[in-house]
Amino acid sequence: MAARNGRQFLQRLAAARVHVEIQGETLTGGIADHPAFRNVVRSYAELYDMQHDPAYRDVLTYPSPTSGEPVATSFLVPATPGDLAKRRQAFKVWADRSFGMLGRTGDYLNSALMALAAAHDWFAQADPAFGANIRGYYLKVREEDLLCTHTLVPPQANRAVAASQQAAGSLMAHVVREDDNGVVIRGARLLATIGPFADELLVFPSTVLRSSPEDKPYSFACAIPNDAPGLRYLAREPLDYGRPRHDHPLGSRFEESDAVVVFDDVHVPYERCFVLGDPDLCNGFYAQTSAVVHMTHQVVARTTAKTEYILGLVSLLTQAIGIEQFQHVQADVAEVITTLETLRALNRAAEADAAVNEFGVLTPAWAPLNTARNLYPRLYQRFPEILRKFGASGLMATPTQADVAGPAAADIETYLQAAALGGAERVKLFRLVWDTCISAFSGRQALYEYYFFGDPVRMAGAYVAGYDREPYKAAVRAFLDRD
């Protein structure tokens, strides 16, 4: 099958029997039409439709090396600078559609699978079958255009002990037994964004594991169909309240669910296992395969789209109420521009300094992308703060669509007018600002940007540890030794 369209995405979801616990309700299917998911899955369907839209299809797809049919560009193994540019353009085209609010569009994990499959020899170190398995799985996901989510983090019961020691080792997902054709997994993982409506769950390593026999059962990487027996999701309360688009312009479109993943003796066939019982391979999973680099390449395109949106929104806001001339307002707008230009420059540097890795994949330079990965979780937190500061009480003068069209219409038109907008137009703009900086949806976005790629504190530790500071220490030492 070639790159899917929206109807095909929704049809597959309609046939899936995914087990989701949500607000006291047990779902075993019907996800596509459930109020918690129906709007966001339609936003995802629009992305799949774009793959067939003449305006986008040349960027979003390329001919499959096996079938010749168009498949998603995020599966393209980059060999030339043009390939890297095409991947970035495809990431950006999709990200622009949601202003970067959809964090788990398929291109994020397709990029990981592309790099992992290209590094099949790395997986084959432990067993040649694992090399074949990761390659075969990538081809399946590419040719069927499946939507993957992933789950990495152990339950948050007690961070003072190793994840594998929480509740005597019973909490974190682990292999409880092997049989003739696979392994059985029991325990839980936090979290899986879009878990309830993905096609596949990638259970990949994250926490640093100890090279001890006790950590072996926790040291694995595999892929599971989302409706596998024994797999269930505990979804959080939805932040799409089923309100009109006018009232919740972002939450009514882009509310990606997050869910705890429970493995109740889930059987995984060997052909879906990529690492088993090997803490050292798990610890090197992303870095040694370059998967983290290609994932970050996608992330920077998405966060660039998001920052462009914030700049557009903040500029409409300052213009609307005539505050653009105040210097502190300009200073904050400059901060948004600086973030945007920093992301663009870092991405450009990463592509300009790309090099072929040991598996033959043209890979963006890691230092600039790692810099972006370390900056954005903190820089994004300023954006809602800036919007709240600029919007002030206006963010509470935000009647609903029913009010704008109801008996209060004349008052709204008169008393909620802005320097550059009529009352109804101003309310529409301010509701968008509200959904970007005050609503529950916006709070989850800020949390997402801070944590989705890992704890920024520990990412900073890895950044420092991996950065070659010797030349700079030597220069300072040489200065100290001068007469």
Ligand X SMILES: Cc1cc2nc3c(=O)[nH]c(=O)nc-3n(C[C@H](O)[C@H](O)[C@H](O)COP(=O)(O)OP(=O)(O)OC[C@H]3O[C@@H](n4cnc5c(N)ncnc54)[C@H](O)[C@@H]3O)c2cc1C
Query: Where are the strands (E) in 323-425, listed by range?
Result: 355-356, 362-363
**Smaller CB distance to ligand X: residue 39 or 149?**
149
Quickly tell me which residue has 């798990």 as its tokens: 282
Kindly state the tokens that stand for 364: 């963006």
Helix orientation angle between 440-451 and 366-391, rounded to the nearest 10 degrees: 160
141 is an interface residue for ligand X by CB under 6 A: no
Which residue minimizes CB distance to ligand X? 152
Q: Which of residues 247-276 bind ligand X (CB under 6 A)?
A: 258
Kindly state the tokens that stand for 16: 């899936």
**HSE toward the beta carbon, residue 387, CA cutoff 13 A:** 28
448 is an interface residue for ligand X by CB under 6 A: yes
Are 76 and 100 in contact by the 8 Å Cβ rule? The answer is no
Give the integer Cα–Cα distance in Å for 48 and 54.
13
200 is an interface residue for ligand X by CB under 6 A: no
454 is an interface residue for ligand X by CB under 6 A: yes
Give the integer Cα–Cα distance in Å for 106 and 75.
10
For residue 284, with 0-12 CB atoms within 10 Å meaning exposed, 13-18 middle and 19 or more buried, which class applies? middle
> For 400, phi and psi rounded to 5 degrees?
-85, 175
**Smaller CB distance to ligand X: residue 28 or 158?**
158
**Smaller CB distance to ligand X: residue 191 or 346?**
191
Q: Which of residues 3-42 bind ligand X (CB under 6 A)?
A: none
To the nearest whole angstrom, how small is the minimum distance from the Cβ of residue 23 to ligand X? 18
Quickly tell me which residue has 């420059």 as its tokens: 345
162 is an interface residue for ligand X by CB under 6 A: no
Q: Using CB under 6 A, which of the segments 312-320, 346-354, 368-376, 446-454 binds ligand X? A: 446-454
Handedness of CA 100, 226, 260, 113 (dihedral sign): negative
To the nearest whole angstrom, how small is the minimum distance from the Cβ of residue 137 to ligand X? 18
To the nearest whole angstrom, how small is the minimum distance from the Cβ of residue 461 to ligand X? 8
Give the integer Cα–Cα distance in Å for 282 and 174.
13
373 is an interface residue for ligand X by CB under 6 A: no
Q: Using CB under 6 A, which of the segments 60-68, 70-78, 184-192, 291-299 binds ligand X? A: 184-192
Q: Which of residues 415-444 bind ligand X (CB under 6 A)?
A: 444
To the nearest whole angstrom, how small is the minimum distance from the Cβ of residue 192 to ligand X? 5
Residues pairing with 233 in the sheet: 20, 261
**Smaller CB distance to ligand X: residue 130 or 204?**
204
**Smaller CB distance to ligand X: residue 196 or 391?**
196
Q: Could you write out the DSSP letters of every residue in 59-75? A: HHEEE-TTT-SEEEGGG
Are 136 and 116 in contact by the 8 Å Cβ rule? The answer is no
Q: Which of 192, 209, 228, 433 binds ligand X (CB under 6 A)?
A: 192
156 is an interface residue for ligand X by CB under 6 A: yes
Q: Which of 98, 133, 193, 290 binds ligand X (CB under 6 A)?
A: 193
Quickly tell me which residue has 């060999």 as its tokens: 79
Q: Using CB under 6 A, which of the segments 2-10, 149-157, 164-172, 328-336 binds ligand X? A: 149-157
**Smaller CB distance to ligand X: residue 270 or 450?**
450
Q: Which of 79, 352, 447, 474 binds ligand X (CB under 6 A)?
A: 447
Q: Using CB under 6 A, which of the segments 188-196, 212-220, 313-321, 371-379 binds ligand X? A: 188-196
150 is an interface residue for ligand X by CB under 6 A: yes
191 is an interface residue for ligand X by CB under 6 A: yes
To the nearest whole angstrom, how small is the minimum distance from the Cβ of residue 196 to ligand X? 12
Q: Which of 7, 159, 177, 378 binds ligand X (CB under 6 A)?
A: 159
451 is an interface residue for ligand X by CB under 6 A: yes
To the nearest whole angstrom, how small is the minimum distance from the Cβ of residue 403 to ligand X? 32
Are 323 and 387 in contact by the 8 Å Cβ rule? The answer is no
State which H helix or E strand residue 275 sits in. Answer: strand 273-276
> For 27, phi and psi rounded to 5 degrees?
-105, 140
Nearest to 189 by CA among 165, 171, 175, 202: 171
Mapped onto helix, strand or coil, the DSSP state of residue 173 is: coil
Size of the site for ligand X (CB under 6 A): 21
110 is an interface residue for ligand X by CB under 6 A: no
Contact partners, residue 35, CB within 8 Å, separation at least 6 = 238, 240, 242
10 Å Cβ neighbour count for 27? 19
Q: Which residues bind ligand X (CB under 6 A)?
A: 149-153, 156, 159, 190-193, 258, 444, 447-448, 451-452, 454-455, 457-458
